[in-house]
């Protein structure tokens, strides 16, 4: 691969993995960066990520750069990851970086932007590379701002699940970049534990099943957990469920919780307040299970099931298990 002053501008996409595999929402990020005028590079941590080349080929990634370091442990420190990415960007003359607006992205991208003194826009819905503008929701999704970024570098965090992945097949070459920088050992992640909402981060989940006051207590969330496990979903909640101490705040969806954008959102015993709706209204399909057919969520959803969630959810779980 040509380093520095190549014919086409290079754009990098930071690969994120879950349980050793590329996160499905990452393909939408690649699609946001795709165009015929640029050379696309994927940056991935660890020598074992070389196996991703076949998965990235259909999406227009010309080069997969696997970033390695003498001690794999040094990459558990997000500051070291940021330094390694900056070195790789400099080495390959990359001035534009795309990544997911995920928990990891929110941790990493500001570190990179601060070190590069680069403009950073998180939660982008669309990026126009030609005029260097992005679209981003503001004020609890009430407005969409178009923001122009200028500067030597540009960094974009893309909202998960907003952009439908499109293929653009090319040949993908794998390149190893050995990061030799000094490791910052002031911070080390010693343990990562799974939160109650499950292994899937709410903001990136493709399917979310959420419970509200209608769940009646914290123990009853177990029926949502069981259903979520069968569907590969994350479990969310309304603020009432959080304020009552039934579930942690990390599970709250809405204006003062997490903004989510799943393909499927199932609201159980949630009335549909404007504050809750603000956090999930961009979901692809909304299903509402509520005993009150006149609840606001029943009017706003794609499919409403008027009934008792304590009968419907276990029946749904049984059916899903039977058809697995
Ligand atoms: C500044 C501010 C910020 C806020 N931020 C948020 C936020 O981020 N997220 C959020 O969620 N809220 C937020 N709220 C709170 C919001 O206004 C609502 O109070 C809250 O969303 C209501 O939660 P709920 O739908 O679970 O409860 P309720 O409104 O009480 O609705 C419970 C629903 O459960 C149904 N139900 C009861 N039993 C059953 C059953 N057995 N089966 C099926 N359905 C049943 C009922 O018919 C009812 O519709 C905020 C409020 C303010 C003022």
Q: What is the pLDDT of residue 192?
A: 78
Q: Which two tokens stand for residue 191?
A: 């343990």
Predicted local distance difference test score (pLDDT) of residue 195: 67
What is the pLDDT at residue 185? 72
Q: How far apart are the first and last CA of the chain?
A: 45
- Ligand 1 site, residue 275, Cβ cutoff 6 A: yes
Task: Tell me the C-alpha distance between 44 and 172, whole Å.
Answer: 14
Ligand 1 centroid distance, CA of 102 (Å): 26
pLDDT for 1: 61
Distance 60 CA to ligand 1 centre (A): 43
- The pLDDT value recorded for residue 196 is 62
How many beta carbons lie within 10 A of that of residue 312, not counting itself? 18
CATH topology match: 9-178 vs 202-322:
yes
- Reduced to 3 states (helix: H, G, I; strand: E, B; else coil), residue 79 is helix
Asked whether 137 lines ligand 1 (CB < 6 A), one says no
Q: What is the distance in A from the centroid of ligand 1 to the CA of 295?
A: 10
Ligand 1 near 213 CB (within 6 A):
yes
* Angle CA 28–30–33, to nearest 5: 115
pLDDT of residue 157: 97
What architecture does CATH give domain 202-322?
Answer: 3-Layer(aba) Sandwich (3.40)
Domains of the chain, residue spans: 9-178, 202-322
Nearest ligand 1 atom, CA 241: 26
Q: Is 316 helix (H, G, I), strand (E, B) or coil?
A: helix
Question: What is the Å distance from ligand 1's center to 253 Cα?
Answer: 11
**Residue 176, pLDDT score:** 96
Q: What is the value of ipTM here, to two decimals?
A: 0.99
pLDDT in tens, the chain (324 residues): 655 445 689 999 999 998 899 999 999 999 999 987 899 999 999 989 999 999 999 999 999 999 998 776 678 888 899 999 999 999 999 999 999 999 899 999 999 999 999 999 999 999 999 999 999 999 878 899 999 999 999 999 999 988 989 999 999 999 999 998 776 777 777 887 776 656 678 988 999 999 999 999 999 999 999 999 999 999 999 999 999 999 999 999 999 999 999 999 999 999 999 999 999 998 999 999 999 999 999 999 999 999 999 999 999 999 999 988
Test site for ligand 1: of 290, 300, 304, most ligand atoms within 8 A of the Cβ:
290
The CATH homologous superfamily to which domain 9-178 belongs is HUPs (3.40.50.620)
Provide the 10 A C-beta neighbour count for residue 93: 13
Q: How far is CA 302 from CA 102, 163, 201, 246, 254, in A?
A: 27, 20, 24, 28, 19
């Amino acid at each position: 691969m040509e380093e520095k002053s190549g014919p086409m501008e290079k754009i990098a996409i930071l690969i994120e993995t879950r349980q050793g595999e590329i996160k499905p929402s990452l393909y939408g990020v690649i699609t946001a960066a795709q165009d015929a005028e640029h050379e696309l590079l994927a940056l991935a941590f660890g020598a074992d990520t070389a196996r991703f080349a076949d998965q990235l080929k259909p999406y227009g990634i010309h080069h997969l750069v696997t970033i390695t370091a003498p001690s794999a442990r040094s990459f558990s420190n997000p500051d070291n990851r940021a330094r390694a990415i900056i070195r790789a960007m400099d080495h390959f003359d990359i001035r534009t970086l795309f990544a997911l607006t995920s928990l990891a992205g929110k941790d990493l991208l500001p570190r990179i932007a601060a070190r590069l003194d680069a403009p950073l826009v998180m939660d982008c819905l669309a990026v126009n590379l030609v005029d260097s503008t992005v679209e981003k929701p503001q004020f609890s999704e009430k407005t969409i701002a178009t923001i122009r970024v200028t500067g030597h570098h540009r960094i974009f965090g893309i909202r998960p699940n907003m952009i439908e992945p499109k293929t653009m097949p090319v040949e993908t070459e794998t390149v190893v970049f050995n990061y030799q920088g000094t490791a910052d050992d002031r911070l080390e992640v010693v343990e990562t534990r799974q939160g109650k909402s499950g292994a899937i981060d709410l903001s990136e989940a493709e399917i979310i099943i959420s419970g509200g006051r209608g769940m009646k207590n914290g123990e009853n969330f177990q029926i949502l957990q069981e259903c979520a496990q069968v569907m590969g979903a994350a479990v969310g909640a309304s603020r009432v469920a959080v304020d009552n101490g039934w579930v942690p705040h990390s599970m709250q969806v809405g204006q003062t919780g997490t903004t989510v954008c799943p393909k499927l959102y199932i609201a159980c015993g949630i009335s549909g307040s404007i504050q809750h709706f603000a956090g999930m209204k961009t979901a692809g399909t909304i299903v509402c299970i509520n005993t009150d057919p006149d609840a606001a969520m029943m009017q706003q959803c794609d499919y409403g099931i008027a009934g008792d969630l304590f009968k419907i959810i276990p029946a749904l779980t049984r059916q899903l298990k039977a058809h697995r």
